[in-house]
Amino acid sequence: MINFHKDHVNLVNIALLVFVLLSFGIAVIPANEMQNNEPLPDMPKMTDAERRGLSVYIAEGCVACHTQQVRNIEMDKTWGSRPSVPSDYHYSKQRMNVWQQSPSLLGSERTGPDLTNVGQRQPGAQWHLLHLYDPRMVVKGSIMPRYGWLFEEVDPANVKEGDVVVPIPADRLSRPGRKVIATPEMNDLVAYLTSLKQAPLPTGVEPGAFLPSPGADGKALKLTDADALPDGGAVFSQVCAACHQGDGKGLAGAFPPVAGSAIVNDKDPAQMITIILGGYDARAEYGVMPAQAENLSDAQISAVVNYVRSSFGNDAPPTTEDVVKSLRFTVSPETAIP
C-alpha cells in the first residue's frame, strides 16, 4: 500500500496521471470531436475575401460585443430560424497551425445584436459600410464605436477604378468635397458580415422546438395566429427601417425616403412591389436596394406595402396578396409561390 505521507514521488505521479486523464476526457477528446464536424449540405464554402474578413472581425474585437450563437430560448428567436449547431462553425472554427486554434466566435456578450443571421437581416453591403463608418447614421442611439481607420477620405480626382465609394452625406464629412472609400480590410469585413446566414438543416433533421419569429429569417413575421396576416409595421421595422429609417425619411445621399415618394403614392403599386421583389439600382445618388423576393412572402410584401402607402404622410390605395403573387412571377419566376 502506498503511503502518500512519505512517498511523495508516487503522489505526484498519480496526481499527474489523473490530471492527464481528466484533460483528455473533458477537453481534448470533446474538442477534437467538435472539430471533425461536417458542414451542412447547403452551406457555401467561405471565399478568400470572407476569410480575410473573419480575420479583421477577430482583430477588431467584434466578438467582445456581438455573439454568433442562437440558443433554444424564446428571446433568441429574433436572431435565427433555428438554434445553432456545431456544423454552423465548420469553416470559421479552423486550426491556424499545429499550436493555435482560431478564436471562438460564439461570444458571451450582447452589447450589440447577435450576428448569426445578419447577412439575411441586412444583405446590403452599403448599409454595413455606413454603419461601420458611423453607426449613428443608420441606428440612432447606437453605442457602437466608429471604425474610421478602415476608411480613407480622398480627393475625388484620386478615386481609382475599383474603389468602393461610401455614400456619406456631405454634412458628415470631416472635410467638404472629399470622397470616402473603403479600405481592402473594410471590404473584406463587409464580405464576411454579409455572408453570415444560417444554412438550412438537411431534410428530416429536427431543429428543435424553435419556431421562427419576427425578424428571424424574413419569412415568419406573423405576430398573432397562423391564419392572421403579417403586421406591416413589424415587417417595415425589421426589414426596411434600418435603411429608410423609422420615420420613413431615409438618409440623404445613401437611402431614399419613402415619405412623400412618388413611387409609394402612385395609385398603381406595381412599381413599388417590383422594386421590393427585384431590388433597385437606378439612382446613382442612393445605395443599392437588395431584392427581397427570397426573403419575404407575398403576404408580407402586401402587408408592408399597405403600411408604407398609408403611413409617413402617404395616402395611396392598398394592394392585395394576389397582386404581389402575379408580379413575383414576372420579376422572379423561381421564387413564385405555387
Q: What is the pLDDT of residue 149?
A: 95
Q: Is residue 79 part of a domain?
A: yes
Q: What is the pLDDT of residue 28?
A: 83
Give CA–CA dist 29/43, Å, rounded: 26
Q: Is residue 63 part of a domain?
A: yes
Q: In total, how many domains does the chain have?
A: 2
Q: What is the pLDDT of residue 332?
A: 59
**Residue 34 banded pLDDT, cuts 50, 70, 90:** low
pTM of the model: 0.72
One domain for residues 155 and 239: no
Q: What is the pLDDT of residues 284-304, one digit of tens each?
A: 777 778 888 888 888 889 999
Q: What is the pLDDT of residues 79-108, one digit of tens each?
A: 988 999 888 988 887 666 777 767 778 988
- Per residue, what are the HEC states of the chain? CCCCCCCHHHHHHHHHHHHHHHHHHHHHHHHHHHHCCCCCCCCCCCCHHHHHHHHHHHHCCHHHCCCCCCCCCHHHHHCCCCCCCHHHHCCCCCECCCCCECCCCCCCCCCCCCCCCHHHHCCCHHHHHHHHHCHHHHCCCCCCCCCHHHEEEECHHHCCCCCCEECCCHHHCCCCCCEEEECHHHHHHHHHHHCCCCCCCCCCCCCCCCCCCCCCCCCCCCCCCCCCCCCHHHHHHHHHHHHHCCCCCCECCCECCCCCCHHHHCCCCHHHHHHHHHCECCCCCCCCECCCCCCCCHHHHHHHHHHHHCCCCCCCCCCCHHHHHHHHHHHCHHHCCC
Q: Is residue 6 part of a domain?
A: no
Task: Provide the residue type at 20 as one letter.
Answer: V
Q: For residue 240, is pLDDT > 60?
A: yes
Q: What is the pLDDT of residue 53?
A: 95
Give CA–CA dist 197/75, Å, rounded: 19
One domain for residues 286 and 239: yes
Q: For residue 269, is pLDDT > 80?
A: yes
Contact 50, 195 (CB under 8 A): yes
Q: List CB contacts of 141: < 8 A, sequence separation 6 or more.
A: none
One domain for residues 130 and 236: no
Average pLDDT over residues 23-45: 82
The CA-to-CA distance between both ends of the chain, in Å, stands at 78
One domain for residues 325 and 178: no
CA 82 to chain CA centroid, Å, is: 15
Give CA–CA dist 36/175, Å, rounded: 52
Structural domain for 307, as ranges: 232-335
Q: What count of residues does the chain have?
A: 338
Average pLDDT over residues 32-40: 75
For the chain, the average pLDDT equals 83
Residue in the structure block whose three cell numbers are 425578424: 215
Q: What is the pLDDT of residue 250?
A: 86
Q: For residue 259, is pLDDT > 80?
A: yes
Give CA–CA dist 35/267, Å, rounded: 57
Q: Is residue 292 part of a domain?
A: yes
One domain for residues 147 and 195: yes
Q: What is the CATH number of the domain that holds 328?
A: 1.10.760.10
Q: What is the pLDDT of residue 163?
A: 92
Q: For residue 226, is pLDDT > 50?
A: no
Higher pLDDT, 29 or 196: 196
One domain for residues 181 and 259: no
One domain for residues 195 and 305: no
Give CA–CA dist 107/232, Å, rounded: 33
One domain for residues 270 and 175: no
One domain for residues 172 and 242: no
One domain for residues 57 and 140: yes
Q: Is residue 302 part of a domain?
A: yes
One domain for residues 136 and 179: yes
**Residue 50 banded pLDDT, cuts 50, 70, 90:** very high
Q: Is residue 260 part of a domain?
A: yes
One domain for residues 194 and 248: no
Q: Is residue 28 part of a domain?
A: no
Q: For residue 333, is pLDDT > 60?
A: no
Q: What is the pLDDT of residue 329?
A: 78
